[in-house]
């Protein structure tokens, strides 16, 4: 620096050099920071793209699964409606069966009532007929027992004679006549 310069000028030059140095240092640090960020971004961008692709694949898989679930849901809803219809039909059939049984029971009850009324009117005639029928049945039972005993006796007699014991070749008629 010039010796003839005044002190004010020297100070100004020092300040200017200091300011320029500071600006230079700040600019260098900013450049270094930027380049480190760029290198970091250059490293992270591909990994982010890979992650993004993986996430998109997961999203597609989830969308497919969601479509399957929606299909199954609609299928289940259809099945549920079919089952509800079957239940309604079954309930109607069960109700009809119960009604039919009730009607049959009423008809049987009415028939029994009519039969009872009819038998009540004939009361004495049936009692007389019943007594006569019992007497005839007793006689028939006795006759049946006698017939069975006779049949058993005949079977016993038949059992005594066995055709296998009699052989025609061994027994001649001529010998019979001479033996007596």
Domain that holds residue 53: 7-140
The pLDDT of residue 132: 54
156 lies in a domain? no
The pLDDT of residue 37: 73
Kindly list the averaged pLDDT for each block of 10 residues, start to end, along the chain of length 180: 58 85 91 77 75 92 94 95 93 92 92 79 58 59 68 57 53 51
CA angle centred on 154, ends 135 and 160, rounded to 5°:
155
115 lies in a domain? yes
C-alpha 159/C-alpha 144 separation (Å) is 23
127 lies in a domain? yes
Query: Encoding tokens for residue 31?
Result: 């450049």
151 lies in a domain? no
C-alpha 56/C-alpha 91 separation (Å) is 51
pTM of the model: 0.33
Number of domains within the chain: 1
Give the distance from CA 121 to its chain's centroid: 59
Backbone angles phi, psi at 171, to 5 degrees: -120, 110
């Amino acid at each position: 620096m010039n010796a003839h310069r005044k002190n004010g000028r020297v100070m100004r030059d020092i300040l200017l050099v200091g300011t320029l140095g500071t600006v230079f240092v700040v600019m260098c640090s900013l450049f270094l920071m930027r380049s480190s960020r760029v290198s970091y971004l250059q490293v992270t961008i591909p990994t982010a793209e890979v992650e993004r692709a993986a996430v998109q694949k997961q999203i597609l898989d989830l969308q497919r699964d969601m479509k399957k679930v929606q299909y199954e849901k609609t299928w289940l809803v259809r099945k549920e409606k079919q089952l509800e219809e079957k239940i309604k039909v079954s309930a109607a059939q069960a109700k009809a069966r119960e009604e039919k049984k009730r009607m049959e029971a009423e008809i049987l009850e009415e028939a029994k009532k009519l039969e009872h009324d009819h038998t009540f009117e004939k009361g004495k005639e049936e009692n007389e007929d019943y007594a006569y029928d019992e007497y005839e049945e007793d006689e028939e039972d006795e006759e049946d027992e006698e017939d069975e005993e006779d049949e058993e006796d005949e079977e016993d007699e038949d059992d005594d004679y066995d055709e296998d014991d009699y052989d025609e070749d061994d027994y001649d008629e001529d010998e019979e006549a001479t033996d007596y």
